Amino acid sequence: MRITVQLPDDLAQRPNPGRDALESLAIEGYCSGALSDYQASQILGLSRFEFEGFLKERQILDHAYDVEDLEQDRETLRQLRAKGLLRA
């Protein structure tokens, strides 16, 4: 799908205004939860790992893997081991 956006003249004078607008769309969509990391990375044509680097370069760490995520993953592993679905 192609979307056309009309930018104010001062923004259109930037070196790559289309890419800037696309990056802003992906960042806002990702940070608001409207886009998954996969969807946002696809908009930008980046791999998932490249997208993580892209976010880090811009100091966007709101959705970075944190201690709570680690604890949740540990609990999931514990449950899988208890059900015999995963070995220690």
pTM of the model: 0.64
Domain that holds residue 18: 9-63
Q: Specify if 46 maps to a domain.
A: yes
Helical spans, DSSP H, in 2-45? 9-12, 17-32, 37-44
Q: Specify if 2 maps to a domain.
A: no
Q: How many domains does the chain have?
A: 1
Give pLDDT tens digits for 30-79: 988 899 889 999 999 999 889 989 999 999 876 666 677 788 889 989 99
Q: Specify if 84 maps to a domain.
A: no
Helix/strand/coil percent split, the chain, to 5: 60, 0, 40
